[in-house]
Structure 1
Amino acid sequence: MFRNLLCTLVFTIACCWHSAAQSTYCNPMDIDYKYNFEQMNEGISYRSGADPVIINHKGEYFLFVTISGGYWHSKDLLNWKYLTANRWPFEDMCAPAAVLVRDTLFLFQSTFESRPILYSVAPEKGIWEFYNRWTPRLPKDIGPWDPALFHDPDTDKWYMYWGSSNVYPIFGSELDYSKRLAFKGQYQAMFWLNQYEHGWERFGPNHSDPFKPFTEGAWMTKHKGRYYLQYGAPGTEYNVYANGTYVGNSPLGPFTYAPYNPVSYKPGGFATGAGHGNTFQDNFGNYWNTGTTWIGFNWGMERRIVMHPAGFDKDGQMFANTRFGDFPHKLPSKTWTGKADELFAGWMLLSYKKPAVASSTLDTMNVAKITDENPRTFWAARQNKPGETVTIDLQTEHDIKAVQVNYADYRSDIYDNDPGKVYTQFKILVSSDGNAWKEVVDLSREPKRDRPCAYVELTAPVRARYVRYEHGYVASPNLAISEFRIFGNGLGKAPETPAKFTAVRQKDERNADLKWEKVPGAVGYNVLWGIAPDKLYQTYQFWNDEPDTFELRALNVGVPYYFAIEAFNENGVSKMSSVIAPQEASAQPLPVKK
Structure 2
Amino acid sequence: MLNSGTIPNNIVRFLTLSLLSISLLVASYAPALAQQKTNRTYCNPMDISYRYNFEQLNEKISYRSGADPVIINHKKEYYLFVTIQGGWWHSKDMVNWKYIVPDKWPMEDMCAPAALSVRDTLYLFQSTFEQRPIFYSTEPEKGKLKFFNRWLPRLPKDIGPWDPALFHDDDTDKWYMYWGSSNVYPLFGAELDKSRNLTYAGNNPAASYKAMFWLDPYKHGWERFGPNHSDPFKPFTEGAWMTKHNGKYYLQYGAPGTEYNVYGNGTYVGKDPLGPFEYAPYNPVAYKPGGFATGCGHGNTFQDNFGNYWNTGTTWIGYNWGMERRIVMNPAGFDKDDQMFANTRFGDFPHYLPDKTVSTQNGMNTDALFTGWMLLSYRKPAVASSTLRAAPTDTLSADRTTDENPRTFWVAGQNKAGETLTLDLGAERDVRAVQVDYIDYKQTIYDSDSTVYTQFKILTSMDNKKWTVVADLTKEPKRDRACAYVELEKPARARYVRYEHVYVAGSHLAINAFRVFGNGLGKVPTTPATLTAKRQKDQRNADLSWSKVPGAVGYNIRWGIAPDKLYQNYQFWNDEPNTFELRALNVGIPYYFAIEAFDENGVSVLSKVVSDGLGQ
Query: TM bucket by the smaller chain?
Result: over 0.9
Deviates more, 1:224-233 or 1:81-90: 81-90
Question: 1:4 maps to what in 2?
Answer: none
Question: 2:426 maps to what in 1?
Answer: 395
Could you give the per-residue CA deviations for residues 249-285 of structure 1, whole angstroms, max 9, x where no partner exists? Answer: 0000000000000000000000000000000000001
Contact residue 53 and residue 64 of structure 1 kept, 8 A:
yes
Where structure 1 has 5 or more consecutive residues not aligned to the other structure, the ranges are 1-12, 586-594
Residue 154 of structure 1 pairs with residue 168 of structure 2: no
Question: 2:300 maps to what in 1?
Answer: 278
1:67 counterpart (84, 88, 106): 84
Residue 544 of structure 1 pairs with residue 574 of structure 2: yes
Deviation of 1:125 after TM superposition, in Å, equals: 1.1
Could you give the per-residue CA deviations for residues 318-370 of structure 1, whole angstroms, max 9, x where no partner exists? Answer: 00000000000000000001224200000000000000000111112111100
Aligned with 2:400: secondary structure? helix
Aligned with 2:401: secondary structure? helix
Could you give the per-residue CA deviations for residues 48-83 of structure 1, whole angstroms, max 9, x where no partner exists? Answer: 000000111110000000000000000000000000
Deviation of 1:239 after TM superposition, in Å, equals: 0.2
Aligned with 1:127: secondary structure? coil
1:346 counterpart (360, 369, 372): 372
Deviation of 1:584 after TM superposition, in Å, equals: 6.3
Deviation of 1:21 after TM superposition, in Å, equals: 4.8
Residue 252 of structure 1 pairs with residue 274 of structure 2: yes
Aligned with 1:341: secondary structure? helix
Question: 2:541 maps to what in 1?
Answer: 511
Question: 1:442 maps to what in 2?
Answer: 472
- 2:167 and 2:38 map into 1 onto residues whose CA distance is 37
Question: 2:550 maps to what in 1?
Answer: 520
- 1:21 and 1:325 map into 2 onto residues whose CA distance is 21
Deviation of 1:464 after TM superposition, in Å, equals: 0.4
Could you give the per-residue CA deviations for residues 288-316 of structure 1, whole angstroms, max 9, x where no partner exists? Answer: 00000000011100000000000011101
- 2:514 and 2:304 map into 1 onto residues whose CA distance is 30
Paired residues for 1:7-22 under 5 Å = 20-22=37-39
Who wins on radius of gyration, i.e. which is larger? 2
- 2:224 and 2:447 map into 1 onto residues whose CA distance is 37
Question: 1:101 maps to what in 2?
Answer: 118
1:235 counterpart (252, 257, 277): 257
Contact residue 401 and residue 460 of structure 1 kept, 8 A:
yes
Larger RCO of the pair (alpha carbons < 8 Å, separation 6+):
1
Question: 1:413 maps to what in 2?
Answer: 444
- Which residue identity lines up with residue 527 of structure 1 in the other structure? I
Residue 385 of structure 1 pairs with residue 416 of structure 2: yes
Contact residue 35 and residue 477 of structure 2 kept, 8 A:
no
Question: 2:233 maps to what in 1?
Answer: 211
Deviation of 1:416 after TM superposition, in Å, equals: 2.2
Contact residue 242 and residue 249 of structure 2 kept, 8 A:
yes
Residue 467 of structure 1 pairs with residue 497 of structure 2: yes
- 1:375 and 1:481 map into 2 onto residues whose CA distance is 9
Question: 1:164 maps to what in 2?
Answer: 181
Residue 318 of structure 1 pairs with residue 340 of structure 2: yes
Residue 454 of structure 1 pairs with residue 484 of structure 2: yes
- 1:89 and 1:222 map into 2 onto residues whose CA distance is 31
Contact residue 131 and residue 154 of structure 2 kept, 8 A:
no
TM-score (norm 1): 0.95
Where has structure 1 moved over 6 Å in runs of 4 or more?
none
Contact residue 369 and residue 377 of structure 1 kept, 8 A:
yes
Deviation of 1:467 after TM superposition, in Å, equals: 0.3
- 2:178 and 2:76 map into 1 onto residues whose CA distance is 26
Question: 2:75 maps to what in 1?
Answer: 58
Question: 1:5 maps to what in 2?
Answer: none
Deviation of 1:140 after TM superposition, in Å, equals: 2.3
Aligned with 2:182: secondary structure? coil
- Which residue identity lines up with residue 481 of structure 2 in the other structure? R
Deviation of 1:390 after TM superposition, in Å, equals: 0.5
Question: 1:572 maps to what in 2?
Answer: 602
Question: 1:79 maps to what in 2?
Answer: 96
Residue 183 of structure 1 pairs with residue 200 of structure 2: yes
Deviation of 1:540 after TM superposition, in Å, equals: 0.2
- 1:35 and 1:194 map into 2 onto residues whose CA distance is 36
Deviates more, 1:185-194 or 1:481-490: 185-194
Deviation of 1:499 after TM superposition, in Å, equals: 1.1
Deviation of 1:500 after TM superposition, in Å, equals: 1.6
TM-score (norm 2): 0.91
Deviation of 1:183 after TM superposition, in Å, equals: 1.1
Residue 196 of structure 1 pairs with residue 215 of structure 2: no
Residue 489 of structure 1 pairs with residue 515 of structure 2: no
Aligned with 2:257: secondary structure? coil
Contact residue 18 and residue 459 of structure 1 kept, 8 A:
no
Aligned with 2:491: secondary structure? strand
Contact residue 331 and residue 366 of structure 2 kept, 8 A:
no
2:529 counterpart (499, 521, 545): 499
- 1:333 and 1:197 map into 2 onto residues whose CA distance is 41
- 2:294 and 2:34 map into 1 onto residues whose CA distance is 31
Question: 2:22 maps to what in 1?
Answer: none
- Which residue identity lines up with residue 199 of structure 2 in the other structure? A
Aligned with 1:434: secondary structure? coil
Aligned with 2:584: secondary structure? coil
Deviates more, 1:24-33 or 1:129-138: 129-138
Give identity over the alignment, percent.
Answer: 75
Where structure 2 has 5 or more consecutive residues not aligned to the other structure, the ranges are 1-29, 203-207, 390-394
Deviation of 1:162 after TM superposition, in Å, equals: 0.2
Aligned with 2:544: secondary structure? strand
- 1:17 and 1:116 map into 2 onto residues whose CA distance is 42
- 1:55 and 1:445 map into 2 onto residues whose CA distance is 30
